[in-house]
């Protein structure tokens, strides 16, 4: 009986050979990008067409993450990321003539405590969900939105990590929030 307990404990230990994970992430279709697009729509509507933007560039959300595995299915850690958008701003007169008004830049920095729940683990692939919530800082934008502290979040119902244990692998996620609807990257397990 005692030998059986040691075998189960040794099996659980070998299953948990990696206890930490570091990720480099890139995401698109982020919550700040969606807010920016809605701001353009409402800005044009409320100004009766006298304000517009052009040449909008969404750089996406670049970030790093760290997770520590408490057991084989639960990990906790943090995500730090930055999302940046820029465009040319114009004032439009009643005749439709556009006058350049400078650049409109919006950056969003986030630092979010995170929890990851692995619900399927195989030798070279795992499926998981994660939730992150924490402070965010809006940098740039208009005077009314400049340098404000806000809440950042990411809800990822499904993520897929691939690669061998204790090696460099990759991942892809589908979710909503600061890391985007689509978030991909590389990870190192150790």
Q: Which residue has the higher pLDDT, 144 or 190?
A: 190
- The residue behind tokens 């990008």 is 33
| Count of alpha carbons within 13 angstroms of residue 130, beta-carbon side | 34
Residue bearing the bigger pLDDT, 150 or 165: 150
Contacts of 108 (CB under 8 A, 6+ apart): 30, 32, 82, 83, 84, 136, 137, 138, 139, 152, 178
Tens digits of per-residue pLDDT, 70-109? 999 999 999 999 999 888 887 777 787 888 877 878 899 9
Parallel, antiparallel, or unpaired for β 51-69 and 20-28? antiparallel
Strands 20-28 and 182-189: antiparallel
Q: Supply the pLDDT for residue 18.
A: 61
Return the SS3 of 34.
helix
Q: What share of the chain is helix, strand, coil (3-state, %, to 5)?
A: 15, 65, 20
In the predicted structure, residue 131 carries a pLDDT above the cut 80 = yes
Cα Rg of the chain (Å, integer): 22
Number of Cβ within a 10 Å radius of residue 74: 13
pLDDT of residue 142: 54
pTM for the model stands at 0.79
What span, in angstroms and rounded, lies between the C-alpha atoms of 136 and 148?
8
Q: Which residues contact 102 (CB under 8 A, 6 or more apart)?
A: 88, 89
Are 94 and 18 contacting, i.e. CB atoms less than 8 angstroms apart? Answer: no
């Amino acid at each position: 009986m005692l030998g059986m307990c040691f075998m189960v404990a040794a099996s659980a230990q070998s299953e948990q050979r990696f206890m930490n994970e570091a990720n480099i992430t890139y995401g698109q279709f982020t919550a700040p990008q969606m807010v920016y697009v809605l701001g353009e729509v409402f800005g044009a509507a409320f100004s009766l067409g006298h304000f517009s933007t052009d040449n909008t560039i969404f750089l996406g959300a670049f970030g790093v993450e760290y997770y520590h595995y408490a057991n084989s299915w639960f990990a906790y850690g943090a995500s730090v990321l930055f999302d940046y958008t820029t465009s040319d701003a114009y004032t439009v007169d009643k005749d439709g003539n556009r006058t350049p008004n400078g650049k409109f830049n919006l950056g969003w920095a986030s630092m979010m405590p995170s929890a990851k729940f692995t619900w399927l683990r195989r030798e070279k692939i795992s499926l998981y969900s994660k939730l992150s919530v924490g402070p965010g800082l809006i940098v740039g934008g208009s005077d009314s939105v400049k340098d404000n502290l806000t809440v950042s979040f990411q809800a990822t119902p499904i993520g897929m990590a691939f690669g061998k244990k204790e090696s460099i692998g990759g991942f892809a996620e589908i979710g909503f929030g600061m890391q985007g609807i689509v978030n991909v990257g590389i990870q190192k397990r150790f």
